[in-house]
Amino acid sequence: MALSKSQIPDTAQHLLVCGINSCEKICQFYCNPCHQPMCEQCRDKHQKSPETKNHEVVEKCRDHPNKDLDILCDQCSVRLCSKCSTMPVHKGHSFTDLEKIYTEKSAACRQEIQRIQTYFIPTTKDLQSEIKIDATEIKTIMDDIRSSMKDEGKCLKTLVDEVTSDNLEKVNKMEESLREMLQSQNKTYQDYISYLMDLLEKFRGYLSSSQLKNNPIIFSLTEHLKIQPIPETTKPVSPVFTAGRYSKGDVAKLLGRITVPDTKPENRKIKPMDTASTQLKPTVKQNKSDVKPTLSLSSSVTKVRKYTVSGVDRVYHLSLGKSGRLWVSDKDGNLVQTDLQGNQLHKIQTNGKDEGYHTVTQTEDLIYTDRNNKVINRKTPDNTITELIKTRDWTPISIHSSHINRDILVGMVKPGEAKVTRYIKTRREIQNIHSHNEGQAMFSGPHYITENTNGDVCVSDWKKEAVVVVNKSGKHRFSYTGQGLSKFYPKGVCTDHLGHILVCDHHSDTVHLLDPDGQFLCLLLTQQQGIKYPSSLCVDDESNLIVGQRDTNTVTVYKYLQ
């Protein structure tokens, strides 16, 4: 703490005092531009003032106030003035110029400042941005979980309503059967009473008859007195209702549960600092291998390759697996798996027709509809075929396995009606899309289905002459009916990594390209490029467009993105 002038002992009268605003405290510092000694507090104010913040303020020696502290004793690690260095206590010691030390330390500080500005702050901000992205993703995931939980609840409620309805119907039938039995028994006794009344009347007639010689009881009383026994009947056995015994935990098991995977969280990746040289580069060079190429529409469409698929006579629908292998079907139910050269790997016989009745899951399972039996089958990579879903009185005609959440979307029809149903992984029906809010039918024939990157469901409905697009909740977004065409017969439909919607027009022999909001962008393929009767298409992991046509068993691959 600085002393005032009155507190300075007589033996220290040679010390300078602060002259700033009559402070008069012992000074330890000196401003060279102002030629003014100052105490520590006044020094701080002096260096904070906008007018004097750049002044050179040096520290004065306490023992020799007229001398600057300009050297460092290497052995004692204390700052000294040149006069102090001659004192006996520092005899034989080595000294280093403080200005030299300051220059070296300043260079190190500037380098650290550069490191902070060019690496630590940007890298930390990148991590903050990553946290914001994670927060957004967590919000989306939790919203999806909440939605799935609600869907599970609705599904369970629907099942409960169905089971309750079935049980009530059984009760009604039991009651009707028991009523019929009791009515039959009642009629039996009513008929018996009528018999007894007739018999009673007959006996009374015998007693009142005056013609004894003709009275039947004179000859055979025993025969006339024989009365039929009272009919036997059984008492009804009443049904007994045994209430289901379940707890909240039992219901919770039916609805599923949310869990946190038992995995150790990964540390966020921190970009390494370039240590190739002691001087940090102004910017950190980005590794080219970490940069994902940006896709955009190419100025032209290029044919990459073309190959023939044996085992089918036409190509009406294509399903692509992760391995790049295709499942190809024709209108006669032939379903063939082929490699990239067209070699047949597997073949099965189905009752599918000219529609998108098969799809491949992320686990490489083939899922396909069975129109005749109204079921959906699954074929695993080991060639095991099992029944997956029963569609009851609806005929499944098209199907798509979601690569977003693994839901299964099925297009179904029955006389006068059409719908798209969503099943979750547990094969439970959680959503039916069939009409607008106004009650108008959404579909007539959902022959091809796909899902866009934003969760939209895209349905190619050639009976409506439109591609009908709804969002994940089933709300109608838009319908595309062709770009200025008098007729539009959409067939195969797919989406790419940019969210484009691609659809085959069977009428004009073209492939249309739309943006995610249904705006027409261009005719991607036309007759001039050899396209005829396009019926199916899909986009592979390399963003190549694969097209199948109904007049040939060849598959053509095009490059349209760059």
Exposed/middle/buried for 337, CB within 10 Å: 0-12, 13-18, 19+? buried
Instruction: List the domains of the chain with CATH numbers.
Output: 5-102 (3.30.160.60), 118-231+247-255 (no CATH), 297-561 (2.120.10.30)
Buried b (16+ CB within 10 A) or exposed e, 484-515: eeeebebbbbbbbeeebbbbbbbbbbbbbbbe
pLDDT of residue 194: 94
| Location of structure tokens 């691609």 | 502
How far is C-alpha 408 from the geometric centre of its chain's CA atoms? Answer: 13
In this prediction the pTM is 0.51
Count helices and strands in the chain by DSSP H and E runs: 5, 30
pLDDT of residue 289: 36
Q: Which residues pair with 367 in a beta bridge?
A: 359, 378
465: left (phi over 0), alpha (psi -120 to 50) or beta: left
Distance (Å, rounded) from C-alpha 400 to C-alpha 408? 6
pLDDT digits (tens, 9 = 90+) for 9-56: 443 334 566 767 667 676 667 676 776 777 878 878 877 888 887 776
Distance (Å, rounded) from C-alpha 440 to C-alpha 464? 13
Contact partners, residue 108, CB within 8 Å, separation at least 6: none
Distance (Å, rounded) from C-alpha 368 to C-alpha 410? 10
pLDDT of residue 30: 67
Nearest to 215 by CA among 227, 228, 202: 202
pLDDT of residue 489: 94
Helix residue spans in 299-378 (DSSP H)? none
pLDDT of residue 514: 94
pLDDT digits (tens, 9 = 90+) for 194-230: 999 998 888 887 777 666 566 666 666 666 667 889 9
The angle subtended at Cα 164 by Cα 161 and Cα 166, nearest 5°, is: 110
Residue type, position 40, single letter: E
In 321-445, beta strands by DSSP E: 326-329, 334-338, 344-349, 358-360, 366-370, 375-379, 385-390, 395-401, 408-414, 417-423, 429-433
Distance (Å, rounded) from C-alpha 38 to C-alpha 45? 10
Contact partners, residue 279, CB within 8 Å, separation at least 6: 111
Distance (Å, rounded) from C-alpha 260 to C-alpha 250? 21
pLDDT digits (tens, 9 = 90+) for 377-432: 999 988 899 999 999 999 999 999 998 888 999 999 999 899 999 998 778 888 99
pLDDT of residue 320: 93
pLDDT of residue 222: 62
Cβ neighbour number for residue 21 with a 10 Å cutoff: 9
Determine the 3-state secondary structure of 459 from DSSP: strand
169 membership: H or E segment, kind and range: helix 121-208
Contact partners, residue 406, CB within 8 Å, separation at least 6: 361, 362, 425
Residue type, position 381, single letter: P
Distance (Å, rounded) from C-alpha 379 to C-alpha 361? 10
Exposed/middle/buried for 372, CB within 10 Å: 0-12, 13-18, 19+? exposed
Exposed/middle/buried for 474, CB within 10 Å: 0-12, 13-18, 19+? middle
Which residues does the chain have with pLDDT short of 50? 1-14, 275-293
For 83-145, the DSSP string reads TGGGSGGGTT--EEEHHHHHHHHHHHHHHHHHHIIIIIHHHHHHHHHHHHHHHHHHHHHHHHH
